[in-house]
C-alpha cells in the first residue's frame, strides 16, 4: 500500500482496510472486465509473481516476456486498488462511528481551513485513482492481453465508430481518458444506434463499419473520400451528443479536471447546477447541429448517386427556407 501511496500512515492496520480494498478491486471490473482481474489474481497466486528471470535463465524469451507482462498487470491492478481503497477508507474515518450514529472525530480540527484542506486532498486522491485506472486500461490494451480482447466490455467497443479514447479525442478533447471513455460506452452506443445509423441506411452503414474495421476508410477514389467525410461528420455528432448525456448521467468528478474545472469551482449550490446545465445544453445544441450537417451531406450524396439533376426548380426560393440548415440545397 505504501509503495503506491507513501502518505498512508504506518499506524493503520491492514485488516481495517480489507473491505475497502476488496470493493475497490471489484469496482475495476466495469473498466477492464472480470477476466482481466481474474488473470491478475491467478498470476499473483501462482508463485510466479516477481519471479521474472532473464531469457537465458528461463530458457525461453517468450516465457520470460509473458512473466514480465503479467507482473506488470498485477502492479497496475495493485496501484489502482490501493488508491481507490485508501480514499474510501479515509472518507469513512473522517468521522467516529458510534451506536448512536456518526460524530466528527475529536482529534480533528473543525475549522474552515481544515475542511478545505481535506476536500482538496480527497479531490487529489480521486484524481490519482482515476489516472491509475487509465494506466491499467492502457496497459492491457497496449499489451493485447487475451483476457482483455475476449472480454464482453472490449467486444462492445469494437462495434462503435469511436472505438477507443484516442479516437474519441479526435472529435472532442477528453484528455485521452480511457476510464471516462469506458464509462461512456453505453451513451456512445445509444447515440450511434438511435440517431446515426438510421440516417446512413443499412447498406451504407454496413460498408462504413466494414471499412472502419479494416482500417481502410481513407483509400483512393471519390467513393473512399466521401466515406471518410461521412465518418468524420458522424464522429463529431456522436462525440458531442454522448458527452452531453455523460454530463447528465455521470458525476462531474468523474470527468478530467480540464473538462470540469469551471463547473467544479462553482461549488455545489445553484451556481453548480446552472454551470452544468449550460454545459450540457451547449454540447447538445452543437451535437444536433453536427448531426444535421451529417444528414445533409449523406442526402446530397444520395441525390448525386441517383443521378438527379439539381435545378432552380428543386431549390426553395424563399429566404427563410434558404436559411434553414435542414434544407439540403442551402443557398444564401
On the 0-12 / 13-18 / 19+ scale of CB atoms within 10 A, 254 is: middle
User: What pLDDT was estimated at residue 242?
Assistant: 96
Same domain, residue pair 317 and 289: yes
Distance, CA of 108 to CA of 236 (rounded, Å): 49
Average pLDDT over residues 16-43: 92
Same domain, residue pair 289 and 237: yes
Same domain, residue pair 146 and 271: no
Query: Of 129, 151, 173, which residue constitutes the final position of a domain?
Result: 151
Same domain, residue pair 316 and 281: yes
Domain presence at residue 27: yes
User: What pLDDT was estimated at residue 287?
Assistant: 95
Same domain, residue pair 136 and 7: yes
Query: Of 100, 129, 151, which residue constitutes the final position of a domain?
Result: 151
Domain presence at residue 123: yes
User: What pLDDT was estimated at residue 332?
Assistant: 47
Instruction: Give pLDDT tens digits for 124-144.
Output: 888 899 999 999 999 999 999
Same domain, residue pair 102 and 238: no
Distance, CA of 328 to CA of 282 (rounded, Å): 24
311: confidence class by pLDDT, cuts 50, 70, 90: low
H-helix or E-strand containing 219? none
Domain presence at residue 92: yes
- Which residue did the predictor score with more confidence, 307 or 144? 144
Instruction: Give pLDDT tens digits for 314-329.
Output: 455 555 555 565 555 5
Query: Of 151, 181, 206, which residue constitutes the final position of a domain?
Result: 151
How many CB atoms are located within 10 Å of the residue 122 CB?
15
Same domain, residue pair 84 and 194: no
Residue-number span of the structural domain to which 214 is assigned: 158-327
Average pLDDT over residues 49-75: 75
How many CB atoms are located within 10 Å of the residue 249 CB?
11
User: What pLDDT was estimated at residue 312?
Assistant: 52
User: What pLDDT was estimated at residue 265?
Assistant: 59
Same domain, residue pair 145 and 213: no
Is the pLDDT at 170 greater than 50, yes or no?
yes
Same domain, residue pair 54 and 177: no
Identify whether the C-beta of residue 200 lies closer than 8 Å to the C-beta of residue 235. no
Same domain, residue pair 102 and 237: no
Distance, CA of 193 to CA of 190 (rounded, Å): 5
Domain presence at residue 132: yes
User: What pLDDT was estimated at residue 139?
Assistant: 95
User: What pLDDT was estimated at residue 98?
Assistant: 73
Domain presence at residue 75: yes
pTM: 0.78
Same domain, residue pair 178 and 144: no
Would you give the distance in Å from CA 278 to the centre of its chain? 22
- Count of structural domains, the chain: 2
How many CB atoms are located within 10 Å of the residue 50 CB?
10
Domain presence at residue 332: no
Instruction: Give pLDDT tens digits for 205-253.
Output: 888 888 887 776 665 555 667 888 899 999 999 999 999 999 999 988 7
57: confidence class by pLDDT, cuts 50, 70, 90: very low
Distance, CA of 262 to CA of 56 (rounded, Å): 55
Q: What cell does 27 get?
A: 469496482
In degrees and rounded to multiples of 5, residue 96 shows phi and psi of -95, 130
Same domain, residue pair 266 and 200: yes
Domain presence at residue 232: yes
Amino acid at each position: 500500500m505504501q509503495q503506491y501511496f507513501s502518505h498512508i500512515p504506518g499506524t493503520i492496520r491492514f485488516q481495517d482496510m480489507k473491505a475497502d480494498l476488496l470493493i475497490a478491486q471489484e469496482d475495476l471490473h466495469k473498466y477492464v472486465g472480470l477476466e482481466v482481474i481474474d488473470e491478475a489474481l491467478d498470476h499473483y497466486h501462482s508463485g510466479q509473481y516477481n519471479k521474472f528471470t532473464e531469457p537465458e535463465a528461463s530458457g525461453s524469451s517468450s516465457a520470460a516476456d509473458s512473466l514480465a507482462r503479467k507482473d506488470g498487470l498485477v502492479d497496475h491492478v495493485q496501484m489502482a486498488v490501493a488508491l481507490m481503497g485508501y480514499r474510501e477508507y479515509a472518507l469513512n474515518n473522517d468521522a467516529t462511528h458510534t451506536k448512536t450514529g456518526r460524530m466528527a472525530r475529536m482529534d480533528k480540527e473543525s475549522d474552515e481551513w481544515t475542511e478545505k484542506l481535506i476536500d482538496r486532498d480527497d479531490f487529489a486522491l480521486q484524481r490519482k485513482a482515476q489516472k491509475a485506472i487509465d494506466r491499467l486500461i492502457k496497459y492491457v490494451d497496449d499489451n493485447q492481453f487475451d483476457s482483455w480482447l475476449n472480454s464482453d466490455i472490449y467486444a462492445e467497443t469494437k462495434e462503435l465508430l469511436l472505438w477507443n479514447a484516442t479516437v474519441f479525442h479526435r472529435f472532442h478533447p477528453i484528455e485521452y481518458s480511457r476510464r471516462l471513455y469506458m464509462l461512456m460506452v453505453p451513451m456512445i452506443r445509444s447515440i450511434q444506434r438511435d440517431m446515426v445509423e438510421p440516417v446512413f441506411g443499412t447498406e451504407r452503414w454496413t460498408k462504413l463499419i466494414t471499412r472502419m474495421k479494416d482500417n481502410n476508410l481513407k483509400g483512393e477514389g471519390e467513393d473512399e473520400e466521401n466515406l471518410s467525410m461521412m465518418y468524420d461528420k458522424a464522429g463529431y455528432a456522436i462525440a458531442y451528443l454522448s458527452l452531453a448525456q455523460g454530463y447528465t448521467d455521470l458525476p462531474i468528478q468523474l470527468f478530467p479536471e480540464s473538462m470540469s474545472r469551471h463547473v467544479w469551482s462553482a461549488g455545489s449550490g445553484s451556481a453548480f447546477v446552472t454551470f452544468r446545465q449550460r454545459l450540457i445544453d451547449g454540447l447538445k445544441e452543437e451535437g444536433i447541429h453536427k448531426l444535421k450537417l451529417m444528414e445533409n451531406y449523406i442526402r446530397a450524396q444520395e441525390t448525386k448517386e441517383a443521378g438527379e439533376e439539381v435545378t432552380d426548380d428543386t431549390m426553395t426560393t424563399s429566404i427563410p427556407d434558404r436559411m434553414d440548415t435542414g434544407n439540403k440545397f442551402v443557398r444564401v
